[in-house]
Structure 1
Amino acid sequence: MTNGSARSGTTRRWRQRPLLVVLAGLLSSLVIVFYGLACGYRLNWTPSQSLGLWRIRPLAGAVATGDLVFVCPPDTPRFREAHMRGYLRAGLCPGGYGPLIKTVVALEGQRVEIGHKLEIDGRVIAHANVRKSDGRGRPLSSFKGGVVPAGHVFLHSSFSASWDSRYFGPVPAEGILGLADAVLTYAP
């Protein structure tokens, strides 16, 4: 082996080292992401709740009003349109949607009235004005109101531009993944 070929082998190893470091970093990142998903951790990038890292905690009993929950939206024409408009992110829920983080404000059997504001059994819900158009000026139609059907919940977010049950109506309670706990979040 000549001195030149020895240097060539050493140079080749030094050139491969950054690639190995990058591959090890990518593999580590993938392991962390999959472990986090398996343990119930999710990132929220939508402003309807604080941005950042959240955890899904299993329900200890029945869902109650005031519970902040992760919920998979049903795969309906209304949600497909919302996804096309950019209201929903892609994710692992049926239909390819990401779960929503919303507060349960009404349970089955409760009466929902929607006008310029939202009322549940005659009680006005704060921060729940109903918009006629979205941030791009596209028309929004609201839920007409009525009694929340059996097996369903009515969801709300106090973020003024949130797309919630004011617009899509009650959703099946079976889509609730668990309670939403903020881990490391930032409220813009």
Structure 2
Amino acid sequence: MDKNKASMTLVSITAILLLLCGAFFTMGGIVNTRSTIPSGLYWKVDKPLGIGKTVVFCPPNRPEFQEALNRGTIGPGNCPDGFDSMMLIVAAKFKNRVTINADGVYVNNVLYPNSKPLAHDRDGHPMALPTIENYELKEDEILLMSNIDEDAFDGRYFGLIDVEQVDSVIKPVLQW
């Protein structure tokens, strides 16, 4: 009888955990295990795009994203063009001035931390480097960067993104 009770308790706990997980994802929860932002649980929030905000976006169908997919830098997923969504930080937006060159990414003439591009990826493939010189972002453009991973595939390699690519602003619930 005790064995049967323990088994029923375990089944009940498992069912409750599955329901909670399902509710978390259905209501806007996201689990991040990538290195571009801290790993953890995130929640979609109804906040405007702003400098320093973390966003989830679907990469546009451009050659640099196709190449990243082919190399395994980004994965296949449910975005309209077959890419997995990505999570990065808004580094620049409307009216900010951006320079991207071999020295790094500058926003309003200030070097963004850990933004010096690598000449080659981890497998030795050459990395594309967009060159942008003192460009003022238009209302529909943003620059997305990692704030923790100097090897991240971010704006230093793919340049600017249209704000329409952004799915949502997210905030951390629990990080590890």
TM-score w.r.t. length of structure 2: 0.79
Alignment partner, residue 100 of structure 2: 114
- The yes-or-no answer on 1:57 pairing with 2:45 is yes
Correspondence list, 1:64-143, <5 A: 64-115=50-101, 116-143=103-130
Alignment partner, residue 170 of structure 1: 160
User: 46-55 or 130-139: which moved more?
Assistant: 46-55
How far apart are residue 119 of structure 1 and its match? 0.9
Identity of aligned residues (%): 24
Between the aligned partners of 2:21 and 2:71, the Cα distance in structure 1 is 27
Report the secondary structure of 2:81's partner residue.
helix
Deviation per CA, 1:45-103: give whole Å up to 9, x if none.
211112232222122x3x12222222221122321221121221333322232322211
The answer to whether the Cα contact below 8 Å between 1:58 and 1:177 also exists between their aligned partners in 2 is no
Radius of gyration: which is bigger?
A: 1
Higher helix share: 1
Deviation per CA, 1:141-182: give whole Å up to 9, x if none.
112114234411001112111100110011110122222212
Q: Tell me, which stretches of 5 or more residues in structure 2 are unaligned? A: 1-6
Q: Letter of the aligned partner of 1:174 in structure 2? A: E
Alignment partner, residue 175 of structure 2: 185
User: 153-162 or 35-44: which moved more?
Assistant: 35-44
Between the aligned partners of 2:174 and 2:82, the Cα distance in structure 1 is 25
TM-score w.r.t. length of structure 1: 0.75
Correspondence list, 1:18-33, <5 A: 29=18, 32-33=20-21
- The yes-or-no answer on 1:155 pairing with 2:144 is yes
